[in-house]
Amino acid sequence: MEFQLDSKKKIIAVLITVIIAAMVVLYLRESVFTFKASDYEDLSRGMSQEEVSRVLGKRSKLLYEKTQDDGVVVTSYMWTNPDGSLVEARFENNKLKFKTERGLVNKK
């Protein structure tokens, strides 16, 4: 009986360790994810904000959001790399209309 209890505790401990390790990997992947000039070039007019986030990473900052008199929703987001390079994107009704970058270099 004691052997079975110790075995179950070990299995639970291993499972908890694996879950924690997976969470740390996911967190670190997102927190150190950087985008390059080639990623910026992959962005095209008409992409949604979600599609752009898949290319540049989920850590974006909403800079501006306004509904115009004609009903068009205009939003502007910024993605920043740890080195300070950045991409700004303007969306109209969740469709990319304009993009700009500063400081991006192509890193292999």
Q: In tens digits, what is the pLDDT along the chain, a chain of 108 residues?
A: 555 668 888 888 889 999 998 887 766 655 567 899 999 999 999 999 999 999 998 889 999 999 999 999 999 999 999 889 999 999 999 999 999 999 997 654
For residues 36 and 57, is the Cβ–Cβ distance under 8 A? Answer: no
For tokens 């950045």, the residue is 86
pLDDT (0 to 100) of residue 65: 98
Confirm whether pTM is higher than 0.85.
Answer: no
Q: With the CA atoms of 77, 67, 91 and 85 taken in that order, what torsion angle do they form, in degrees rounded to the nearest 10? A: -20
| Torsion sign over Cα 54, 80, 38, 48 | positive
What SS3 class is residue 69? coil
Two structure tokens written together for 42? 């992959």
Instruction: Tell me how far CA of residue 56 lies from CA of 6, 46, 101, in angstroms.
Output: 46, 16, 12
